[in-house]
Amino acid sequence: MAATTTAIALTLSSFTLRSTIPSKTFFFPKPSKPISLRRTFRPLSLTPHAKSSDIDTSFFDDVNPEEDIVFDPPTPPEGFTPPPSFDECPEETEDEIAAAYEELYGPAYSGVSVLGNDVYVMDSKVKKSSAFGKVKKEKVRDGFEERVVQVRRVTKVVKGGKQLHFRAIVVVGDKQGQVGVGVGKAKEVIGAVQKSAVNARRNIITIPMTKYLTFPHRSEGDYGAAKVMLRPAAPGTGVIAGGAVRIVLEMAGVENALGKQLGSKNALNNARATVVAVQKMKQFREVAQERGIPMEELWK
């Protein structure tokens, strides 16, 4: 009876174990050869067919590795004079350095030639063209300096989509009382700057200034929603202004002035408002001439 009970218990336990085994069982085949994780590499040789006996080592037979080798330079010939040291040479002047650079690389872009070359004559054999085959326009040499105030990307909505352009605001001036504000738009930034510079040269005005490089009197100007206030300043004050107003005054040559933007912050409108305020100014001699009185009578 006990034996029968033991057999039934073993059968139930084996059935329980078999029921816990998953339905998918993986069997790995036994390898025919033992797997070795160690891998053998053959040594890399540049001359696989060369032997150690083929290499000639007779050159090193007379060399003692323990002996210090001292380099013995050859004897200089008769009448040999060693060149002077670099530190002992006299310092070159700026003209000599400029002449050496001009001899190597040609005349400078500043228009100054030390060797007497004509920097305004372009070699006919050299073609100045861009990557797209367009002939580059030479920079206008009229004494006016250019300053880019702002470059913005503008989009125009058309029937087929949107057209992307760039708008540039440029101020030109000779820093001697003449200044101009221009705006231009093109598909490239360089083209927009060139167009705006041409437009600025068409709108050149003259700013009245005193001998202290400041305004003769205070003035205000507005353009659109922008309003600018200008005031004269004592010598040594400098240009106290910001944004486009400062650039316009600096390009005109004003060194002592006060400027304030009272309205919109639009750069183009502020620059044109500055031009409007300047155009309202008059010199003392102009006012005296209009009134028909001497200048001394203005301060009485």
Report the candidate in 250, 226, 232 with the shortest Cα–Cα distance to residue 149: 250
Spell out the CATH class of 219-292.
alpha beta
**pLDDT at residue 11, as a whole number:** 53
Spell out the CATH class of 145-206.
alpha beta
Q: How confident is the model at residue 37 (pLDDT cuts 50, 70, 90)?
A: low
Q: Does 49 score more than 70 pLDDT?
A: no
Q: Does 157 score more than 70 pLDDT?
A: yes
> What is the enclosing helix (H) or strand (E) of 186?
strand 178-186
Backbone angles phi, psi at 268, to 5 degrees: -65, -45
Query: Can you tell me the distance from the alpha carbon of 299 to that of 284, in angstroms, rounded to the nearest whole number?
Result: 10
Q: How confident is the model at residue 122 (pLDDT cuts 50, 70, 90)?
A: very low
Residues 6+ apart with CB under 8 A from 58: none
DSSP state of 130: -
Query: Can you tell me the distance from the alpha carbon of 230 to that of 210, in angstroms, rounded to the nearest whole number?
Result: 15
C-beta separation of 221 from 273 below 8 A: yes
Give me 200's structure tokens.
Answer: 């600025």
C-beta separation of 175 from 252 below 8 A: yes
Query: Can you tell me the distance from the alpha carbon of 254 to that of 207, in angstroms, rounded to the nearest whole number?
Result: 9
**pLDDT at residue 88, as a whole number:** 76
Domain residue spans of the chain: 145-206, 219-292
**pLDDT at residue 71, as a whole number:** 72
Query: Can you tell me the distance from the alpha carbon of 21 to that of 133, in angstroms, rounded to the nearest whole number?
Result: 80
Task: Report percent pLDDT > 90 for the chain.
Answer: 44
Backbone angles phi, psi at 132, to 5 degrees: -95, 10
Give me 257's structure tokens.
Answer: 């002035």
DSSP state of 60: G
Query: Are β-strands 219-223 and 257-261 bridged in parallel, bridged antiparallel, or unpaired?
Result: unpaired
β-bridge mates for residue 227, sequence order = 222
Q: Which residue has the tokens 């200044």?
A: 179
Query: Can you tell me the distance from the alpha carbon of 190 to that of 40, in angstroms, rounded to the nearest whole number?
Result: 65
β-bridge mates for residue 95, sequence order = none
**pLDDT at residue 65, as a whole number:** 72
One fold for 145-206 and 219-292: no
Query: Are β-strands 239-240 and 226-232 bridged in parallel, bridged antiparallel, or unpaired?
Result: unpaired
The tens digit of pLDDT for each residue in 190-238 reads 999 999 999 999 999 999 999 999 999 999 999 999 999 999 999 999 9
β-bridge mates for residue 185, sequence order = 167
Query: Can you tell me the distance from the alpha carbon of 218 to that of 239, in angstroms, rounded to the nearest whole number?
Result: 14
Query: Can you tell me the distance from the alpha carbon of 146 to that of 139, in angstroms, rounded to the nearest whole number?
Result: 11
The CA–CA distances, whole Å, from 270 to 56, 170, 229, 250 equal: 87, 13, 10, 15
Report the candidate in 115, 97, 94 with the shortest Cα–Cα distance to residue 106: 115
